[in-house]
Structure 1
């Protein structure tokens, strides 16, 4: 999807579809009133019959109207004006984008950024509208060809020209590309999206973007480094692991980078502690942290952020075979600490343990790991928020604020020392599970032992990274939150683009 701007009058814009928003209440004003006048009062007549959608997310497509250059008008409800905050606006635009994609329009002119959002400015509205429309236009096609009569993708969307509109849409395009990259990877089947495939994608990205470099570690190099926790998870699979590093050097030489570390379990059977068969096919999305890290690095390179950023991915497949690691095994991690394995399905924290230790050698200013780590997080927060765990209050506030600004919300869970005793073991420095109580938090406690000395946060995205139901799909989260956090650290949106 390409974004453009135009200074043509709304009624004169030639496009397949004109998109307008209406809050709850009576009457028409602004662009809606202008359009209504041009089409002979059609909207007024529909409004009198309560036929216009005003409840949040409801849509109506109108065809064959005269008096305007657009072939269609798409009306989307915005809900109660006092409740139209950033999240509600994002949902409304996505609803409009979904209706647009289900039509046969290939171009559109969007007026939704004219809406009054209670907690955001005009730049944000234009940028977020672009991101949300691109998000809604996504349809998986890598291994399923669309039907001959399937609605086409939306090629172009124009917005009214105005101060900074072109820049905001350029930013939106970069972020949308990162989100789509993450969704593409998460949706791919595990026989395609293997650890080696993730490494190939990273190499392709580095070749496409000047300033983006890649480093790939394979078995022999990881063995020399003592990455026994990561390798223990990988040992049962024919698909060999990779440690992938994407480096963006947009800052000054010597500036400490911000680092993201993604869990990349490209398929998770649970290993010897094998999962139930029901819904095991969804375990292809257990590389959502890797997808988000790679997607965020895609956006970073496109935005050309004036800072140094590291994206590290621990990519493995967790399979059971005669060589697979077992419950009861004691593994010595890269940092020398020993781990008693109680559950081979608690594999994400094992690979992140070594990845965090290795990332610490890069001397980052801050490290944030991303992982579809625990089902307990889905129980706690559902699919609405990612969980943030850190002992650094300032960093927690940075990530919470980034989630609010980007409509990609996070929520903080405690990481108190009280929980650490749940992962104590008489046979090793720790065990890899802490039992049923506070399962997400004890997983964070485990990871904290491999991020000592780092300004570090763990983000559990188990609920946020995957959309259950129909259609099942990766969400690309939390790419939006990560990019907002990075941009804020780089000096804000005015310093970008």
Structure 2
């Protein structure tokens, strides 16, 4: 999609859909200047008078201009009666772009509100990201062509063009396309996104962007490193496990290395502790943490922030078989700590344990892991926010600040010492599940045992990984959650480095 700035009276703008924002008091947020088109002016006024609900957030009304304007149709979109955050603006632009796409539009023009001159650059960022995220669709397996069209051009008008317009558009397109890349990975069925295929995706990123170095560890190499926790999960599957490693070195003189660790279970049956059949098809998304890390690295490789990042994605399926790990087995992790496996469906923390240890041995000074880890986090926070856990408050605050700027919602949960008691084992150093009580917290406590003293953050994205409907800039299916926060954090840290 192309994004352009145009300076013209909106009555003269040639496009398929002209997007006009409607405020809470039922007036347009722009001086329309339809002096020669009183019929159009009157129609808009009648709609705003007779349909007060039109101003509700995200409500859309289409007006066909019937040749009176150069635009084929006007799309009125309500802004609601609350002060809009940047994320709300992003959602509004997404709704407008998605509706324009349904109207078979190839071009649309956003008329930016005249009272928002001070945040014009932020509105452009929101519009670009919203348009690309909100019109995303996963059509790899549809045999019939969809009726909706493809937006090709997005115009902006209504304010003075900002000097950094091209830079804002470029950055926003990189971020949004990387989120959509992550969405694509998660939306693929497990038969088409095995550990080997996900590893190939990482290698393709390294080939495309020369600033990334890829290393893929196979089973034999993991055995040599004694990654027995990861390998225990992989035992039940015929698909070979992979450990994906991507390195980005943007600050050669810095000793700091940030590790992004993403859970890469490409299908989770639960293993011997088999999940219920209902909803099991959704377990293809259990590699969304890994997909978020790869999406973030795709953006970082193009934005080139001045810092060093190590991406580690442990990949395997979790399947039941005669070779599978059993409840009651005791395994030894890469760092030597022993684990009693009381539930084979608590497998994500096992592969993350070895991946975190590996990242530390590769020189990581700060850690962030992302995982669709627990249903307990969904119970606690629903589908609105991801859960956050940390052993270092200052490090966590940097992430929370980055998330707020990116528009992704995170909520910090505690790791009080008392919770650690729930994962104590009578026959090993720890067990891999503390039971139902505080399940998201005890899972984080388990990973913390391997982060040890290294500043570490765990993000449980189990509730935010998918959307069950089109809503704002989210569309039904994978959300790509985590990508925008990681990219924003990388840029913030690079800014701190000067």
Equivalence for 2:77 = 76
Equivalence for 2:301 = 301
Structure 1 residue 426 displacement after superposition = 0.8
Secondary structure, aligned partner of 1:215: strand
Q: Distance between the aligned counterparts of 1:26 and 1:144, measured in 2?
A: 41
**Does the 8 A contact of 1:386 with 1:462 survive in 2?**
yes
**Does the 8 A contact of 1:370 with 1:461 survive in 2?**
yes
**Does the 8 A contact of 2:254 with 2:307 survive in 1?**
no
Structure 1 regions of 5+ residues with no counterpart?
Answer: none
Deviation track 1:454-474 (CA, whole Å, cap 9, x = no partner) reads 111000000111113577410
1:173 aligns with 2:170: no
Q: Distance between the aligned counterparts of 2:11 and 2:463, measured in 1?
A: 43
Deviation track 1:306-342 (CA, whole Å, cap 9, x = no partner) reads 2222221111100000000010000100000000000
Structure 1 residue 85 displacement after superposition = 2.0
Structure 1 residue 48 displacement after superposition = 2.6
What are the residue-to-residue correspondences of 1:28-43 with 2, within 5 Å?
Answer: 28-30=28-30, 33-34=31-32, 36-37=34-35, 39-40=37-38, 41=41, 42-43=43-44
Structure 1 residue 86 displacement after superposition = 2.8
Equivalence for 1:242 = 242
Secondary structure, aligned partner of 2:286: helix
Equivalence for 2:107 = 107
**Does the 8 A contact of 1:38 with 1:67 survive in 2?**
no
Q: Distance between the aligned counterparts of 2:130 and 2:384, measured in 1?
A: 16
Equivalence for 2:153 = 156
**Does the 8 A contact of 2:11 with 2:34 survive in 1?**
no
Q: Distance between the aligned counterparts of 1:372 and 1:302, measured in 2?
A: 27
**Does the 8 A contact of 2:248 with 2:308 survive in 1?**
yes
Secondary structure, aligned partner of 2:95: helix
1:139 aligns with 2:137: yes
**Does the 8 A contact of 2:87 with 2:126 survive in 1?**
no
Structure 2 regions of 5+ residues with no counterpart?
Answer: none
Equivalence for 2:263 = 263
What are the residue-to-residue correspondences of 1:442-461 with 2, within 5 Å?
Answer: 442-461=442-461
**Which of 122, 125, 129 does residue 123 from structure 2 map onto?**
125
Secondary structure, aligned partner of 1:199: helix
**Which of 476, 486, 492 does residue 490 from structure 2 map onto?**
486
Secondary structure, aligned partner of 2:263: strand
Provide the aligned C-alpha RMSD in A. 2.1
Q: Distance between the aligned counterparts of 1:2 and 1:141, measured in 2?
A: 21
Equivalence for 2:231 = 231
Equivalence for 1:409 = 409
**Does the 8 A contact of 2:467 with 2:477 survive in 1?**
yes
Q: Distance between the aligned counterparts of 1:123 and 1:88, measured in 2?
A: 15
Larger CA deviation: 353-362 vs 41-50: 41-50
Q: Distance between the aligned counterparts of 1:143 and 1:411, measured in 2?
A: 36
Larger CA deviation: 283-292 vs 466-475: 466-475
What are the residue-to-residue correspondences of 1:11-22 with 2, within 5 Å?
Answer: 11-22=11-22
Q: Distance between the aligned counterparts of 2:377 and 2:481, measured in 1?
A: 15
Larger CA deviation: 360-369 vs 89-98: 89-98
Secondary structure, aligned partner of 1:121: helix
Structure 1 residue 44 displacement after superposition = 2.1
Deviation track 1:225-259 (CA, whole Å, cap 9, x = no partner) reads 00000010011111111110111222224442222
Query: Structure 2 vs 1, CA of residues 17 and 255 (structure 1 numbering), >3 Å: closer, same or farther?
Result: farther
Equivalence for 2:90 = 90
Aligned length: 488
Q: Distance between the aligned counterparts of 1:300 and 1:12, measured in 2?
A: 40
Larger CA deviation: 301-310 vs 241-250: 301-310
Structure 1 residue 51 displacement after superposition = 6.6
Secondary structure, aligned partner of 1:266: strand
Secondary structure, aligned partner of 2:259: strand
Q: Distance between the aligned counterparts of 1:60 and 1:38, measured in 2?
A: 22
Q: Distance between the aligned counterparts of 1:111 and 1:236, measured in 2?
A: 56
**Does the 8 A contact of 2:367 with 2:456 survive in 1?**
yes
